[in-house]
Structure 1
Amino acid sequence: MSDKITNELQELLKANVVTEETAEKIRQYFDQKQQGNQNNLSSVFGILGAILVGLGVILVFAHNWDTLSRLTKTLLSFLPLIIGQLFCGYSIFKKSESSAWRESSAVILFFAVGSSIALIAQVYNIPGNLNSFLMIWMLLCLPLVYLLKSSIVSLLYLTGITYYGCNANYFTYPSAYSYYYWLLLLGIAPHYYELLRTKASSNFTLFHHWFIALSLVICLGTIANKNGNLTALSYMSLFTIFYFIGQTPFFEKQKLKNNSFLIFGKLGILYMLLLYSFKWFWDRSIYNRASLSETFFSIEFIIAFLLTTFAVVLFYKKNSQTNFSEISILELAFLTNILFFIPGYEFSIVANGIVLAIGISEIKRGNKLNHLGIVNFGLILTTILITCRFFDTDLSFVIRGILFITIGLGFFLTNYLMFKKRNRNEK
């Protein structure tokens, strides 16, 4: 505990503001907090040290690699793996209570596994591709997450399988196509659940929120194949699911920066609505691409249907508690998915109206709560909508200029009135 807090406690004791028992509880609280911060700092430096040591060893090997015999190369290929396993064994049996040791040794072994696979394949010219290498590497390292309770390896694993999903479905499509990413993602689910249950407020849990949400957003598009235009339905429903998850009691207690699902959900829904607001988007009707049977039995439609059904369940669960009296426009946005099954692009008008209504409602909500950030968010959303129409309509430059001037004046006037109201309330 810092000297400043100790001195403050002494003054409070002398002034009889707190009792000796209360002061002791305060000391214990700050001592535990300081110890936790020191452990976190030790973990961070241990992980960084492990990564630097691993990179250094690889560079040393690489510099002298061509001059070595095949036997020497083989032994050196397994050396990082052996060292990593020794560190992990020591951490499990001797330092099981030290998160710094567990995380550092797990990171060393994680990179050692990858380097050993690559080196052995290079020494013996074993054929393969990046997809198989990433899958084998991630599968071999997944047990580290549970044996050593390593959250940093869990994050590295999420990064690895996300890159695998992109490489197998985006970068090499149509020569390669794989759904294994989704099975690999399930492998990390028990660890994520354990973090939510036991370490809800830790930094590792915070990073898992962001990594998982980002990974899902990136790799959902990998389901696209012959009916790729249907993927928009899946994304709208996924963002809606994120939005409802972000509004659950667990995440509502978190700070906004920690609530990745709410941020991804809200911004994602608005992005999809803005996409829906363009006429060219509706020109790509599903009826122009495939027959009804091909559409309804495609993997894209099945995933979109399941996600939309789940979004409906979450919508009902949230709003049934308030007898559907507090429904926001944003929560109903995913129902625009049904517009895909009505030919024509005129429904871009509906999307424009929804975005405009959301922008106005955000301005009203921010004004009611006296929250300048919410007000400006509503104004920015309205400005983005008008900017989209700037490139999507045949309005004259004079009218467009007047619209932008009006929006700019609206920014200045709204912020001025909000500041004036806030100053008046403070007085």
Structure 2
Amino acid sequence: MNKQRIVWLHEQLPEWEAKGWISKEHAAQMRVFYGTVDTTQGPSLRRLLVLLLGLLLTSLGVFLLFAGYWYSFSPAGRMDWCIALLLLAVIALGLGLWKAPRGSIYAEGIGLFYVAALTISTVLMSDTYYTGEGWGFYALIIMLLTLPVIYLLGSGFTMMAYLLIGLLWSVSAREVTMWGEPVWLWLLLAAGSPFFAEQLRKRTRSYLSTLWLSWAYVAAIFGAFFFTITSYNLSLGLFFVASLSAATYALGSLSREQGLWSLPFRGIGVLGLMYVVVYGTFISTWQEEAAASADWLSIGLGIVALILVAGGLNALWQKRMGTDLLITFCPIVVGLLMLSVHWGVTPLTGSILFNVYVVLLAIVLLWQGTVTKRVGLVNGCIFTFLAMIAARFFDPTFSFVERGFTFMVTGVAIFAVNLFYMWRKQSQQAQVNTSVARANRRLRRRQTLGDDEHIEVTDTGEHTESAGNYTSAPSDDRTGADAAKSATVKEDGNMAYTAREQESAAAVSSDKTTARKGESSDAQ
């Protein structure tokens, strides 16, 4: 029951007792029945968001006060302010470790304040002393100093901030240095995986934060993946993206029954596959792949990605998830087409074959979504077609004639699929209506035959009908339910009429036996 209603009831019971509406015994029983109000430690999530908003506004006010005078301070003065901010964050962290329970609301707030203070101080110091390092170096320092705090406080929101910093590292403009290479980012993401696994185990207590953490973790992994491809100029880039997206989607599909926490894996996996669809339809993608030379690092990572996809396909095959299996098969097709381009197939042929594959896959998924009534598959097919149309419109390598032909083929395909869907829907409705009409005619026919058989002729030659067997002839507009009810009444009437005949015959036989006994006694 709602807590506010329970509180209101406890407030009203004394007044009801005073007015004599209920007795003291009944009031005591009501208090015991509705029980006490469950108290929670600390503020609620909504209250925490309001408090964070107030803290953010206060921080912005302080920032604006310092912004106008910041550069008037000497470098040593700026250093002092940054150290004071860090000292305040460390004191708050110590109080949190001493008093705040692990994973509580207070621990979440202290962790976020610590990350914010550390990030602001690092950025201000880099601006003051012009160190010249890229964002990757500063992100490495912040993440290294934040990781122990995450485990000590058990703060999921601090982990989200940690992953957000890693995502900013992967998408920022940079020159890869020794301390800004992708390998450090991968190691830091792997170091946070035990905490993510811990949050998944206790997701029943903090379900919403676990869902948000899943989104952040998957996004950080994809960012690190793109960071790796662009930093080392790897070939087979589209195959790598397709493999990671398909494996992520397969993991989310296999974990669908465990709750909504797997939704980010499916969602980001689908977004990655949409990226593959859009860029795979461009001729320039295949031209660049044909001109690139595959190095040993690309080949080795390609083998690892292939093993990852094969594992996902095997797991989906064992669970007989055919639709998800077709979606996860996308990187295999992309890899084969890339190999064919390297072996002499023209980029135009590779692009056309990939477009044909995407159209066929969309049609199959639309059919599966219609049969299994999964709206997500139907919407995914629609978005796939829209992405292909947008790609054709902005592709400069196609002439106006080729773009027009592509639009025509896509439009005809959309019309054909929708017309087939409408025809199938109408045929199903007609089949259902025909079966219902056939059932109604069958019931009416049985009722008519039953009326003809239940007419009986008495010994006097007069045609009589039993009261239990009497029913009117069925009209043309009588429904099947009324006909079935009338047939039941007739069967009950026949049973009653037969029972009465047996009772009458038994009575006549008894009278004849009594008369014979009387005649024999008179003769004696």
TM-score, normalised via structure 1 length: 0.77
The structure 1 residue matched to 2:303, chosen from 302, 305, 309, is 305
Cα offset, 1:246, TM superposition: 0.6
From 142, 145, 151, give the equivalent of 2:147.
142
Q: Per-residue displacement from partner, 1:357-409 (whole Å, max 9, x unpaired)?
A: 22112222232234555434434434544665676474585894586377368
1:339 CA displacement: 2.5
Greater relative contact order (Cα < 8 A, sep 6+): 1
> Match for residue 516 of structure 2?
none
Residue 304 of structure 1 deviates from its aligned partner by 2.5
- Letter of the structure 2 residue corresponding to residue 44 of structure 1: L
Matched residue SS, 2:105: helix
Of the three residues 183, 187, 194, the one matched with 2:187 is: 183
Q: What code does the residue aligned with 1:334 have?
A: P
- Check whether the contact 2:139–2:165 (CA below 8 A) recurs between aligned residues: yes
- The corresponding residue for 2:108 is 103
Distance in 2, Cα, partners of 1:406 & 1:340: 26
Q: How has the CA–CA distance of structure 1 residues 150 and 252 changed in structure 2, closer, same or farther, with 3 Å as cutoff?
A: same
Equivalent of 1:269 in 259, 270, 273: 273
User: Which residue of the other structure, out of 257, 261, 266, is the alignment partner of 1:252?
Assistant: 257
CA RMSD, Structure 1 to Structure 2 (Å): 4.1
Shift in CA distance, 130/102, structure 1 to aligned 2, threshold 3 Å: same
Using the TM superposition, give the Cα deviation of residue 238 of structure 1 relative to its aligned residue in structure 2, in angstroms.
0.2
Structure 1 position 69, deviation (Å): 5.8
Task: Please state how far the C-alpha of 1:132 moved relative to its aligned partner.
Answer: 2.2
Q: 2:363 aligned with 1:364, yes or no?
A: no
1:63 equivalenced with 2:68 (yes/no):
yes
Query: 1:240 matched to which residue of 2?
Result: 246
- Partners of 1:378 and 1:85 in 2: how far apart? 52
Contact 1:379 1:411 survives alignment (8 Å): no
Q: In the alignment, what sits opposite 1:340?
A: 338
| Separation in structure 2 between the aligned mates of residue 7 and residue 197 of structure 1, nearest angstrom | 37
Alpha-carbon distance in structure 2 between the residues aligned to 1:325 and 1:65: 62
Give me the identity figure in percent: 18
> What CA distance in whole angstroms lies between the structure 2 residues aligned with 1:268 and 1:418?
33
2:103/2:154 contact within 8 Å kept: no
Higher-Rg member (1/2): 2
Q: CA deviation at 1:175?
A: 7.7
> Residue by residue, what CA displacement relative to the aligned partner does 1:156-188 show, whole Å, maximum 9, x if unpaired?
111112212233xxx234788612221222232
**Is the 8 Å Cα contact of residues 50 and 108 (structure 1) preserved in structure 2?**
no
Q: Does 1:213 align with 2:215?
A: no
- Give, in whole Å, the separation in 1 of the partners of 2:5 and 2:419: 44
Q: Contact between 2:43 and 2:105, CA under 8 Å: does it hold in 1?
A: no
Q: Where do 1:5-404 residues align within 5 Å? A: 35=40, 39-68=44-73, 72-96=77-101, 99-120=104-125, 128-167=133-172, 171-173=173-175, 178-179=181-182, 180-199=184-203, 202-224=207-229, 227-249=233-255, 251-255=256-260, 259-286=263-290, 288-290=291-293, 295-298=294-297, 300-322=298-320, 328-336=325-333, 337-342=335-340, 343=343, 344=345, 345=347, 346-372=349-375, 374-382=377-385, 384-385=387-388, 388=391, 392=398, 394-395=401-402, 397=404, 400=407, 404=411
Contact 1:80 1:116 in 2 (8 A): yes
58-67 or 187-196, which moves further after superposition? 58-67
| Number of aligned residue pairs | 397
Paired amino acid for 2:317: N
Could you list the per-position Cα deviations for residues 247-271 of structure 1 after superposition, in whole angstroms to 9, with x for gaps in the alignment? 123x33334x960111222342243
CA distance in 2, matches of 1:278, 1:330: 20
State the TM-score, normalizing by the size of structure 2: 0.64
The letter of the residue matching 1:340 is M
Greater CA drift, 96-105 or 355-364: 96-105
Matched, 1:407 2:438: no
Unaligned runs of 5+ residues in structure 1 are 9-22
